[in-house]
């Protein structure tokens, strides 16, 4: 038996899908992963997985490049003859499902891990891309047997937009989190807020930076951390825009890392003011390590907390309320541990990767 994962980025394969792939291997499947480059393939191979490089510009707008990607996938799938395929994020979902159909794969699965820039931005460019993406989604979903969503809002929107039929849809609690890898840890002595994200506007980076500047002005002893890559793509903040916050000591900035747990340990409260998510993996990781959360009342984010119990929900793009909730934690520091424990318990009950993967295996028809 053979399973092929069609992945947009190697880092997400071993960070977000590693536990799932190990489960699939334990069921007797040979697992193959496609990825766009050679970055981090040792970590993929360490899982007992065969890697095949198929170039992909996941944010590019070239139709010719996308067709070339789909043809390469089709040729691979015809040669390998997998029993099951799973693609995630927009291009692997669309072109992976089409390629699998052309190759005669009998069990084709797609997973929508969020709608991103295409569905959140309101620029003319974004609206044009959204129209084209909707057409392509319909084609890709028609080829798929099962489409898995990570929150109810995305599922509902895609069905209401008539991109696919409800009976094809399944729902899971995000990608889950490995609670042995991200384990409960003590709070730091210094009150610290932390955001981990690509430095993009739709992730709420402006709101976080503006709130940090305002709070730091009132409470200079409070620390703010930011971890994540500055990418030269649509919706990104530039390093030039970010630099004043670093140079003026408002935030401690770090680039990408393979050891994110060490940064969660340094924080008291995790913050993600995102405009929309699938289910934010970073929030789940922070919950597993016993941190209260401030995030937005937005699709994907609102499912991760109990407002006022494990953290706080704030309106999207509302810096004033974000500041208010940060100040609440500063003034009520005794509550951080209690809310962090509640956050941990919610994570264990709902988002443990073993529970999520059990649902994933059931939905893609891999039986014990």
> For 79-88, what is each residue's pLDDT tens digit?
999 999 999 9
The CB density around residue 234, as the number of other CB atoms within 10 Å, is 17
Query: The domain at 192-350 falls in which architecture?
Result: 3-Layer(aba) Sandwich (3.40)
- Helix/strand/coil (H/E/C) assignment for every residue in 207-248: HHHHHHHHHHHHCCCCEEEEECCCCCCCCECCHHHHHHHHHC
Residue 296: beta bridge partners? Answer: 314
Q: Within 13 A of 169's CA, how many CA atoms are on the CB side?
A: 19
Q: Which residue, among 267, 268, 251, has the nearest Cα to 205 in the 3D structure?
A: 251
> For 55-69, what is each residue's pLDDT tens digit?
998 877 789 999 999
95: left (phi over 0), alpha (psi -120 to 50) or beta: alpha
**What is the Cα–Cα distance from 254 to 354, expressed in whole angstroms?**
30
Q: Which residue, among 63, 163, 145, 132, has the nearest Cα to 101 in the 3D structure?
A: 145
> For 301-344, what is each residue's pLDDT tens digit?
999 999 999 999 999 999 999 999 999 999 999 999 999 999 99
Residue pair 276/303 in contact by the 8 Å Cβ criterion? no
Give the residue carrying structure tokens 């929508």: 112
Burial of 104 (0-12, 13-18, 19+ CB in 10 A): exposed
Residue 223 has pLDDT above 70, yes or no: yes
Q: Which residue, among 359, 356, 303, 358, has the nearest Cα to 154 in the 3D structure?
A: 303
Domains of the chain by residue range:
2-176+352-363, 192-350
Residue 7 has pLDDT above 80, yes or no: yes
- The alpha carbon dihedral of 304, 359, 11, 84 has a sign of negative
Q: Is-above-0.85 flag for pTM?
A: yes
CATH assignment, 2-176+352-363:
3.40.50.2000
């Amino acid at each position: 038996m053979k399973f092929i994962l069609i992945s947009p980025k190697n880092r997400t394969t071993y960070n977000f899908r590693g536990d799932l792939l190990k489960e699939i291997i334990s069921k007797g499947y040979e697992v193959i992963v496609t990825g766009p480059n050679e970055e981090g393939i040792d970590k993929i191979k360490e899982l007992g997985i065969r890697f095949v490089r198929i170039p992909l510009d996941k944010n590019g707008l070239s139709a010719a490049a996308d067709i070339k990607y789909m043809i390469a996938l089709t040729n691979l799938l015809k040669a390998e003859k997998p029993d099951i395929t799973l693609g995630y994020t927009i291009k692997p979902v669309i072109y992976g499902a089409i390629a699998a159909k052309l190759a005669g794969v009998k069990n084709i699965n797609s997973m929508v891990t969020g709608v991103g820039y295409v569905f959140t931005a309101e620029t003319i460019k974004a609206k044009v891309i959204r129209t084209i993406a909707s057409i392509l989604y319909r084609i890709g979903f028609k080829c798929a047997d099962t489409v898995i969503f990570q929150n109810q809002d995305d599922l509902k929107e895609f069905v209401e937009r008539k991109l696919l039929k409800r009976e094809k849809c399944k729902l899971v609690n995000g990608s889950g989190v490995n609670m042995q890898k991200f384990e409960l840890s003590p709070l730091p002595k210094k009150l610290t807020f932390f955001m981990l994200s690509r430095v993009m506007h739709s992730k709420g980076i402006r709101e976080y930076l503006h709130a940090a500047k305002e709070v730091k002005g009132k409470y200079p002893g409070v620390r703010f951390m930011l971890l994540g890559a500055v990418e030269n793509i649509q919706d990104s903040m530039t390093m030039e825009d970010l630099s004043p916050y670093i140079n003026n000591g408002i935030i401690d900035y770090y680039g990408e890392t393979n050891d994110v747990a060490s940064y969660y340990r340094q924080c008291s409260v995790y913050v993600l003011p995102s405009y929309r998510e699938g289910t934010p993996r970073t929030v789940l990781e922070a919950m597993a390590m016993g941190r209260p959360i401030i995030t937005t009342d937005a699709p994907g984010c609102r499912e991760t907390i109990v407002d006022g119990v494990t953290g706080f929900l704030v309106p999207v793009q509302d810096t004033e309320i974000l500041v208010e909730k940060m100040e609440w934690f500063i003034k009520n520091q005794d509550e951080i541990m209690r809310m962090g424990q509640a956050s941990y318990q919610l994570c264990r009950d709902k988002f443990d990767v073993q529970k999520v993967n059990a649902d994933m295996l059931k939905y893609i028809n891999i039986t014990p």
